[in-house]
């Protein structure tokens, strides 16, 4: 969770983090260590055959930001 998202609030004063986490498979927002694990893997020999690949580090998020914002209101 970035500080921007953590402290951002909707017009009603609710945090964006709680509604947004409902759209992730893990039912929580990502933390810095989640991304660090991915970076460590990509820097390892195990990732040597990955080339030109997009790796979505989104915790299984399956919707768009617009849907999250609409849900928060």
**Per-residue model confidence as pLDDT tens for the chain (73 residues):** 556 666 666 666 666 666 677 777 777 778 889 999 999 999 999 999 999 888 888 877 765 566 666 665 5
Question: Residues 35, 37, 40, CA angle at the centre, nearest 5°?
Answer: 110
Query: What string of DSSP letters covers 8-71?
Result: -B-TTS-BSHHHHHTTSTTSS---HHHHHHHHHHHTSGGGTT--S-----STT--S-HHHHHHH
Looking at the whole model, is its pTM more than 0.95?
Answer: no
């Amino acid at each position: 969770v970035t500080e921007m998202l953590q402290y951002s609030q909707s017009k009603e004063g609710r945090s964006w983090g709680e509604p947004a986490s409902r759209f992730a498979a893990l039912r929580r927002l990502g933390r810095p260590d989640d991304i660090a694990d991915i970076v460590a893997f990509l820097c390892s020999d195990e990732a040597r055959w990955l080339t030109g690949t997009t790796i979505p580090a989104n915790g299984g998020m399956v919707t768009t930001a617009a849907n999250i914002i609409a849900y928060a209101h």
